[in-house]
Amino acid sequence: MNKKYSFVLSSCDNYSDLWNPFFSLLKKYWKWFDFKVFLCTESKKFTFNGIDIACPLNAPPSNTWSQNLIELLKTVPTDYLIFMLDDFWIKEEVDQKLLNQYLELFDKDKEIGFLCLRHQPASKLQPSLKHPLLVEYPKKFDYRITTQVGIWRKEYLLKILRPHESAWQFEICGTRRSNRYQAKHYVIGNQAKCPIVYDAGGVLFRGCYVKEFIEYFITEENIKLEKSRATDTKANLEAATYNKKRDWRNYLNPKKYISVIKSWI
């Protein structure tokens, strides 16, 4: 069992139907997986043969995404962690040799607070002279904080989190807060391979299955869905979310402005 890194899987009780597919695919494609898993959910427990999984929380359903993650991180014994979301279903063999390079790099360079293991818009920027496979995120760059799979220094992640935020607020507001800190952020450059391959954004979008992604796992991986969920194309789901955000009634909600102010603190 890896003593330096823990594996944190972010989820919730309502998404427990994703756990069997997630761990089935992890076991199939990540054959050298040797991390203790900390499953971040409210109160449900889960086991999977051959994988050491802890479900330490007993939190109320009213808790925010960030509240649960903060409480879970307090139970994680290691200083470093690999963070992943429950709908990031692995599609190809994990490149363990490459992943080990990134883990060793992260361990040696104490200035790094976060290393994103998936290509992002910043990946097209000039590679780092210090770490040629990586791009250093400039400060004030959009989505400098992201919930894509990545390596985190636990202490730094706790500094960035705020208990009132959702995962989406964490990415946007956490990016702003990250500019205050000296910790460096890196992302895999476009010229480098991603060690863990999954569909961009995951098989779910706002609780709905992404049609083009979920159909692949049903037909190619013989995944049996345990729960009926709405299904649509990613383009339609994104458009619906965009239109909802533009609804003028959103701007009349005082909680929206209170949340923004709290996120700056």
List, for residues 245-258, the tens digit of each pLDDT value: 555 455 556 665 56
pLDDT score, position 120: 97
Owning domain of residue 9: 5-264
Beta bridge partners of 39: 9
Q: Quote the CA–CA distance of 76 and 6 in Å, as a whole number.
A: 7
List, for residues 92-138, the tens digit of each pLDDT value: 999 999 999 999 999 999 999 999 999 999 999 999 999 999 999 99
Is pTM beyond 0.85? Reply is: yes
Residues 6+ apart with CB under 8 A from 187: 115, 116, 118, 119, 120, 122, 123, 134, 135, 137
pLDDT score, position 1: 86
Asked whether residue 25 carries a pLDDT value surpassing 80, the answer given is: yes
Higher pLDDT, 3 or 199: 199
List, for residues 164-188, the tens digit of each pLDDT value: 999 999 999 999 999 999 999 999 9
Overall domain count for the chain = 1
Q: Quote the CA–CA distance of 158 and 19 in Å, as a whole number.
A: 25
The percentage of residues in the chain with a pLDDT greater than 90, rounded to a whole number, is 89
Please report, for the domain that includes residue 83, its CATH number: 3.90.550
Work out the number of other CB atoms within 10 angstroms of the CB of residue 29: 18
Cα–Cα distances in angstroms (integers) from residue 140 to residues 69, 95, 123, 184, 187, in the given order: 24, 31, 15, 12, 15
Q: Quote the CA–CA distance of 263 and 265 in Å, as a whole number.
A: 5
φ, ψ dihedrals at 205, nearest 5° = -135, 110
